[in-house]
Structure 1
Amino acid sequence: DKGDRFQVKRISVNPGASLSLQMHYHRAEHWVVVRGTAEVTRDGETFFVSENESTYIPVGVKHRLANPGKVPLEIIEVQSGSYLGEDDIVRFDDRYGRHA
């Protein structure tokens, strides 16, 4: 779903995989775990988020999502902010060699 200042996405992460360490200048994110357990790194702190739990990623905060489990991780991501374009991603560490 998408509106003027929000966007909702479903994100899947395979077992043992992770997304890039990144931040956004214009959007915050709220992650709700619907399957599996997420390993979340937020502003240098790493913690776990289980099914039916959530966490908030403020604008400008470095973050990463990883799946330490044996089943696919599925989260619902609610983005909110003044700009929601995919080019609002600053990557600091990416196992796939992406930059931006």
Structure 2
Amino acid sequence: MAKKYGFLLGRFQPLHKGHQYLIDQIKERGYEPILFLGSSNFKRDRDTDPLTFHERVEMIRLIYPDLSPEAGKDGSPPGLVPFFDGIPPNDYD
């Protein structure tokens, strides 16, 4: 049987109970969660976006250790999509 995936896009600034509810619902319905950590295309504002990309990833890994970029090494999609070239560097420093 083919794997089914559930996608969730969020800023996760910070991860909160609403995010956790959605992730848990994805898992309870038999889907493999794939999280997209979003950000704006503007320079990071520490008042509205206090956490860096790496801090958000670590926060998510503390609660969901099975979601990590390493999960995709066997060819399956990763649980956390780290970043792509268009994101300003100051967001994930």
- Calculate the TM-score normalised by the size of structure 2: 0.29
Greater strand percent: which structure? 1
Greater helix percent: which structure? 2
Highest Rg: 1 or 2?
2
- Calculate the TM-score normalised by the size of structure 1: 0.28
Q: Which has the higher contact order (CA 8 A, sep 6+)?
A: 1
